[in-house]
Amino acid sequence: MEKPGNVRLRLLSFAVIAYMMLAFAWWSILLYTKNQDAFLAKRDKLRILMVAEGSIKNDADFFQSTQYLHLEKQYKRQEYMVLGEAVVFTISLLIGLWLINRGYKQEVGTARQQRNFLLSITHELKSPLASIRLVLETIQRRSLPPEKLEKLTRGALLETERLNSLVNDLLLSAKLEAAYQPYRETLDLPQMLEDIVTRLENKYPSVSFVFHKQSAITTLEGDRSGLSSVMINLLENAVKYSKPPVEIEANIRQESEHIILEIADNGKGIDDKEKSKIFDKFYRIGNEDTRKTKGTGLGLYIVKQIIVAHEGTIEVLNNEPEGTIFRIKLPLKVDKE
Ligand code: ADP
């Protein structure tokens, strides 16, 4: 929702611009007609003078005389000047209008993202804390049978893991904003991906994961924790934004001097108009009040920053018949400074 103050300010600036346009149009028309009047008066005066001097016999002579042609040329030049100024001024005003509108839209977008972020972060921080607290209180109050205790503590541990990854994401995104330089070491990316897929297979037993290594792959110099975070984020999103039966494919291959990594799901897919926005910080599709899935809108922002720091690219494609494919292209050779 727009704040009433913002709407008023916006309407006021549009009204001022509209007034300026009208005033300018009025002055331009006035200048144009006055210029025309001046020209006609000068023309008539010249004709009377020339008739009195006897230098012309009729109108045809007058309209061909050098004095008249000179006067007409001067008039045309002034007419073009008025028209030219009007066009330049109108274009400048329209550009101004467009800039105001663009700035305003950006502001509204940022405000929406901040609100979304605050709502989701509050929820994401509060709910694990509340459930851990509940578990601890239950344990404190009652003596529980070992299997119940084991179940409760497992749940609490999962919640602490969620909190931990949220805090890590926040810290990582803050770090990415300051100068982030990937700490490079020799990595066996297919092995890393396979290990992560195996871990997620245990975490989500109902999801079917497929891992494909499609060609021999050279090792890559990269940041282990950064690139792990990229793979985990994409795979977790694939699980989160798909409905059962969930099928996820992780492909890795080498194409000449690049490693191509693809995470494909059969989920709800991403609209074309959202594809460029999802990598923005705190951006989540839809509205926080109605959304069911948990998240902060930091995941894909972090993914993109890490890939860019490795001089790679990431793109989003539609999967067939439905779902999404995230494709990452990482260069094997990086320009070292
Ligand atoms: P979060 O998951 O915390 O909302 P992300 O930055 O990871 O934030 O993702 C941004 C948005 O992109 C998500 O809110 C979701 O709407 C959309 N999205 C990400 N991955 C997928 C996917 N695999 N399928 C469909 N939508 C996705």
pLDDT one-digit tens code per residue, 11-69:
888 888 889 889 988 998 999 999 999 999 999 999 999 999 888 888 888 999 999 99
pLDDT at 185 over 70: yes
Token pair, residue 286, equals: 């839809």
* 163 Cβ contact list (under 8 Å, min separation 6): 125, 128, 129
* Pocket of ligand 1 contains residue 237 by CB under 6 Å: yes
Output the CA torsion sign for 195, 196, 197, 199: positive
3-class state of residue 65 by DSSP: coil
- Please name which of 192, 208, 318, 330 lies closest in space to residue 258, comparing C-alpha atoms: 330
Does residue 295's CB lie within 6 angstroms of at least one atom of ligand 1?
A: yes
Round the average pLDDT of the chain to a whole number and report it.
Answer: 88
* CA 283 to ligand 1 centroid distance, Å: 8
What is the arithmetic mean of pLDDT over 140-153?
89
Whole-angstrom Cα distance, residue 322 to residue 272? 13
CA atoms of 278 and 295, how far apart (whole Å)? 13
Q: Looking at the DSSP assignment, which residues form a beta bridge with residue 270?
A: none
- Residue 278 reports pLDDT greater than 60: yes
pTM above 0.85, yes or no: no
**8 Å CB contact between 55 and 65:** yes
User: Domain residues of the chain, as ranges?
Assistant: 4-114, 129-179, 185-331
pLDDT of residue 73: 95
Residue 296 to residues 1, 47, 55, 120, 266, Cα–Cα distance (Å): 20, 82, 89, 6, 22
Q: What is the mean pLDDT of residues 143-165?
A: 89
Residues 182, 225 contacting (CB under 8 angstroms): no
Residue 318, beta-bridge partner list:
324
User: Which CATH number does the domain 185-331 belong to among 3.40.1360.10, 3.40.640.10, 3.30.565.10, 1.10.357.10?
Assistant: 3.30.565.10
pLDDT interval class at 275 (50, 70, 90): very high
Most confident listed range (8-12, 18-22, 74-78) = 74-78
Query: Could you give the CA distance from residue 190 to residue 219 in angstroms, rounded to a whole number?
Result: 9
pLDDT confidence of residue 296: 80
* Residue nearest atom 27 of ligand 1, based on CA coordinates: 241
The values of phi and psi at residue 55, to 5°, are: -80, -10
Ligand 1, pocket-test mutation among 118, 248, 300, most atoms within 8 A of CB: 300
